[in-house]
Structure 1
Amino acid sequence: MARKRFSDEDILNLLRQIELSLAGGNDVATACRSAGVSDATYYKWRKRYGGMGKSQLSELKGLEKENQRLKKIVAELELDKLILKETLDVLKPKGLTVTDLRQAIVKARQRLNTSERRTCKTVGMPRSSQRYLNRPKDNEDRLRLALIRLAKQYGRYGYRKITKLLQIEGWKVNYKKIEKLWREEGLQQPKRHKKKKRLYHKDSSVIRLRPKYENHIWSIDFVHDRLSNGSSYKMLTVLDEYTREALCVAVKPKMGNAEVLEALYPLFLCHGKPEFIRSDNGPEFAAENFQKWLTKVGIKPIRIYPGSPWENGYNERFNGTLRREVLNAEWFTTIEQAKTVINKWLKQYNTIRPHQALNMRTPIPETLHQNGT
C-alpha cells in the first residue's frame, strides 16, 4: 500500500481533530485510529506543529524555504571556491594561454564532477571558447615546413630575415605570423645586444665619416681563426659601407701589407677605386709603403682612433656575422676548404641574405650578381 502524504494544512487539521477527540474523553490510540494515523505519527506531528496556527505555519514554511535557499547559495559558493582553487595553479602564470585555461577547466570538472556551464561561468571562460577546436589550415602546415626548411638552411637567421625569404618565395605573410610559428616550433631566438654610444668631438660632431654613395668608403679589417689541427690563418674582409656589399674575404695562412695590396688590386679593377679606405691601426694597414701606395693611386686612407673599433662599425658587424654564421658553425681542416665555404657564403650574403639597414633587401640582386660574374 502506498504511503500517504499529507500537506502541512492537512497535518494541522488532523492534529486538531485528534485533540478534539482527546478532549471528548477518548484515549490516544482511539483518537489516532479515528484520524487514520499511528500513535508515533501523532507524537511526531505534535512535537513539530503543536500549538501552531495557520499564520505561524505560513511563517514556518517561509523560514524553511529561506533556509533551503541559503543552504543552496552556500553550497554554490563553496563549489565556486573549489573550482577556483583547482584552476588557481594554472591562473598564476602571466603568460597564460587559452589552451592552458581549457585544460584547467577540464581537470576541475573531472575532480569536482561539475557541469561545463558552471565551471566556465565561475572561471570566466566562454563555453564557445572551451568547445573550440583549432583546425590548422593546409597552407599553414606547408608554411611551417617552408619555415623549418629555411631555418635549417640559414641557421643563424632570425624570424625577420626568414619572413623576407618566405615573401620572396611568394608567401603572403607578415613577421608577426612567422614569429608566432617560430616560437611554436622552438626555433632559435637571436640575442639582443645593447647599443653602443657614438664617439663625438668636443663640438658634438660625429668622428666617423659617413658613406654617401657607392665606392665612397670601403672598410677593411682582419678576422683570425684556427684550423682543426691548431694552425692559424687570417681573413681580410673588404666591405663597401654604402651598399653593404662584401667585396672580398681573402683567406691566407699569413698576411702582411703586401698581401693586402695583392687582395685589393683586383677589386679596384673590377669595382673601381673608392674615395676612402677605412681601417684600424694594425701594422699591416699602418705600414708606410701601404699608405703611400694608396695616396699615389688617389685613395685617401682613414685610420680609426686607437681603441675605438666602433668607428669601423660596418666592417666589425660584418666580421661578427661571418664568425657567427660560418666560423663558429664550421670546422675547417685546410685553407682551401675554408676558402670554398667562405666564398659560397659570401655569395649568399650578397645576393640572398636580407639586410635590415637596406630595408630587408640584399646588397646586390641575384640577377645583377650573375650578370656581373
Structure 2
Amino acid sequence: MIQMNSRLHVRRQCRLLKVNRSSLYYVPKPPDPEHQAWLEMVMQQIDRIHLEHPYMGTRKMVILLRQMGITITRKTVRRLAAIMGICAVYPKANLSKRNFKESIVPYRLRNYKACFPNQVWSIDITYIPMPHGHMYLTAIIDWYSRKILEYYLADTLDKETVIAAVKEAVARYGIPAIINSDQGSQFTSDEYKKLLKQLGITQSMDGRRRWADNIMVERWFRSLKNECIYLNEYQTPRELLQLIGKYVKDYNTIRPHEALEYQTPDEVYYSCFQAA
C-alpha cells in the first residue's frame, strides 16, 4: 500500500498505516547453504540420540553433541528439537494449564487388549533425515497384528498428512473401532476430529505423563530407523519413499514377529478374516 513515488511522504504513509518505517527497507537475507547443511547434520545427530536415549533432555544432548566435536548451545538444540517435533520422555511437572482442553480426548486403551484386526489402530509422526533437509513420516499400525497399514511421507508437519493417511488406510482396510494418537496439534485439529466422527471412529489420545501409551508405533519407528534408514543411502524423497516401501513390505510379509509367535503381521491380520 505504501508508494515510494507518492506525493505523500513515506514517513507520513507509514505513520498513517501504523507500520514501522525500517521494515519498509528491510531485505531478507537468504539462508547460508553451509549453515543449513550444518543444522541438518546436527538434527540427524539429535534424532539418533533421541532414538537411543528418549529420556534425555536438551542439557544432556548438548553434552553428547559437544563430545562429538559439535559446538552448540542448549538454545539451538531446543529450537531444532522443536522443529523435529521431539521432546524428552519423562513425567513433566504441571507448570501450566492447557488452553485447548476441549480438543483433548481421553485415553481409552488402558488395560485394553485387542482381540482382532481393525479393533485398534495407532497413528504417529516421526522425523526422517535427508542429505539436504528432512522429511516427516506418518504411519498407522494395527494393534492386534502389528501390521503397518499405511505410511505417508511429507516435508511438513501439518494436519493434511495425517488426514490423508487415515483416509487411505480406511479405503484399503476398512474402518477401525478406535484410533489412538498423541496430543499433537495435527490430532487435536478440528478437521482431523471431524473426519473420525464422520467415519464413526472412536478417538483416543495418550494420557498426560503417559508417553508409553502409543509405544507400539514408536517401537516400529525405532526399528525402521535402526534397520533401514541409518543403514542405507538415499538422495531424494523418491528414493527414501522406495526404501521405506520395501522395508514396510518385508516387515509385513517376511519378517517373523516374536510377539506374534513368530508369524508375520500379514499372516496374523489376514488369517482372522479367512477364519471368519
TM bucket by the smaller chain? 0.5 to 0.7
In the aligned structure 2, how far is the partner of 1:240 from the partner of 1:365?
13
Aligned to 2:15: none
Q: Deviations over 1:24-65 (max 9, x none)?
A: xxxxxxxxxxxxxxxxxxxxxxxxxxxxxxxxxxxxxxxxxx
1:316 aligns with 2:218: yes
2:119 to 216, 238, 241: 216
SS at match of 2:266: coil
1:270 to 161, 172, 177: 172
Asked if the contact 1:237–1:249 (Cα under 8 Å) also holds between the matched residues in 2, the reply is yes
1:258 aligns with 2:155: no
Evaluate the alpha carbon distance shift between residue 315 and residue 211 of structure 1 in structure 2; reply closer, same or farther with a 3 A threshold. Answer: same
In the aligned structure 1, how far is the partner of 2:122 from the partner of 2:164?
16
In the aligned structure 2, how far is the partner of 1:280 from the partner of 1:209?
17
Moved over 6 A (4+): none
1:355 aligns with 2:260: no
1:232-251 to structure 2, matched below 5 A, reads 232-251=134-153
TM-score by length of 1: 0.42
TM-score by length of 2: 0.56
SS at match of 1:224: strand
- Give the greater-gyration-radius structure (CA): 1
Asked if the contact 2:139–2:165 (Cα under 8 Å) also holds between the matched residues in 1, the reply is no
Asked if the contact 1:208–1:311 (Cα under 8 Å) also holds between the matched residues in 2, the reply is no
1:54-133 to structure 2, matched below 5 A, reads none
1:269 is matched by which residue type in structure 2?
A
1:292 aligns with 2:194: yes
SS at match of 1:354: coil
1:341 to 235, 243, 248: 243
1:263 is matched by which residue type in structure 2?
A
Q: CA deviation at 1:292?
A: 2.0
SS at match of 2:172: helix
Aligned to 2:63: none
Q: CA deviation at 1:251?
A: 1.1
1:329 to 225, 231, 240: 231
Q: CA deviation at 1:208?
A: 4.9
2:245 is matched by which residue type in structure 1?
N
In the aligned structure 1, how far is the partner of 2:190 from the partner of 2:148?
26
> Would you tell me which structure has more helix in proportion to its own residues?
1
In the aligned structure 2, how far is the partner of 1:212 from the partner of 1:283?
30
In the aligned structure 2, how far is the partner of 1:332 from the partner of 1:242?
32
Flag the structure with more relative contact order, 1 or 2, with Cα contacts below 8 A and sequence separation at least 6. Answer: 2
Asked if the contact 2:135–2:155 (Cα under 8 Å) also holds between the matched residues in 1, the reply is yes
Q: Percent of aligned pairs with the same residue?
A: 26
Q: CA deviation at 1:332?
A: 2.3
Q: How many residues align?
A: 163
